[in-house]
Amino acid sequence: MTDLFDIGGRTVVVTGGTRGIGAMVAEGLRDAGARVLVTSRKVDACRAASERLGCPAVPADVSTPEGVAAVLDGVHAEFGGSLDVLVNNAGVTWGAPLDDFPRAGWDRVLGTNVVGLFELTTALLPALRRSAGGGHAARVVNIGSVDGLRVPVFENYSYSAAKAAVHMLTRHLAAVLAQDGVLVNAIAPGAFPSDMTAAALASDSGRTLIENAVPLRRLGTADDIVGAGRYLVSPAGSYVTGVVLPVDGGITGCGT
């Protein structure tokens, strides 16, 4: 059973890995023995994460060609050009009333959450295929959202549409890359503490409102998201691809 979840020595890139869910995943996989590289758009956040996690951190905006190239360079420098696991977590959100929702809210969110995810994944395919050729499947885990599975309570139109696109893109990539030994899955988190949910959780009433909307009556924890991620990137998940796994305390599964 220990071997079933063993990821010791696996090389992992976590985009947006300096805070929130990305930081939870990065730290959890590192603690399980993986060699982790994280990315962030902010240089200071990379420096702090590198010191805290004891792992390399690459400043990179993955919505740009320059950012994608920086991550690719980091993989070659730190891992010798072979990559076992890519966790596409980097993302942004935008909220505005329907009648006032701006074009910029679409360009920014889709550019990072969908286009950037796609272009980074395709840029790293040679590294992932190289790893898969070593006898075990490489993994891509895309971080989606319950907001891509159900109608959100917030007016985040481009975000929910982008996360739904991430889920479908996950299935499409999984179908194409299965023959290459690259497994592609997504996790759709529910309510977790993060910068995106900080405003809503700032007051006791806001936190209670969110918790009461979850059948399990609590927010997600680091163990919840790390457990799901470790399953998908370990031998335990070697027969799973093209799946969108809700980790949401029952929000989608229980029909709330």
Mean pLDDT, residues 14-30: 97
Q: For residue 159, indicate whether it is catalytic.
A: yes
Mean model confidence pLDDT for the chain: 95
Q: Which two tokens stand for residue 100?
A: 């006032």
Across the range 228-243, mean pLDDT stands at 97
Distance CA 225, CA 227 (A): 5
Q: Is the pLDDT assigned to residue 234 strictly greater than 70?
A: yes
- Please tell me whether residue 254 adopts helix, strand or coil conformation: coil
pLDDT value of residue 7: 97
Using 50, 70 and 90 to split pLDDT, how confident is the model at 1?
low
Strands 182-189 vs 244-247: parallel, antiparallel or unpaired:
parallel
Determine the pLDDT at residue 116: 98
Sign of CA dihedral 223, 6, 47, 51: positive
Catalytic residue among 157, 159, 231, 239: 159
Strand partners, 57: 38
Residue type, 243: V
**Range name among 36-45, 152-161, 206-215 with the lowest pLDDT average:** 206-215
Mean pLDDT of 182-192: 96
- Give the mean model confidence (pLDDT) for residues 187-195: 89
Does pLDDT of 256 surpass 70?
no
Region 230-242: what's the mean pLDDT?
97
Q: 143 pLDDT band (50/70/90 cuts)? A: very high
* Whole-prediction pTM: 0.95
Q: For the chain, which residues make up each domain, given as ranges?
A: 3-247
Question: What percent of the chain clears pLDDT 70, i.e. is strictly above it?
Answer: 99
Query: Which residue has better confidence, 17 or 1?
Result: 17
pLDDT at 227: 97
Strand extents, DSSP E, the chain:
11-14, 35-40, 57-59, 85-88, 138-143, 182-189, 244-247
Pairwise CA distance, residues 232 & 113, whole Å:
21
pLDDT of residue 2: 72
Do residues 37 and 78 make contact, with C-beta atoms less than 8 angstroms apart? Answer: yes
CATH 3.10.20.30 fits 3-247, yes or no: no
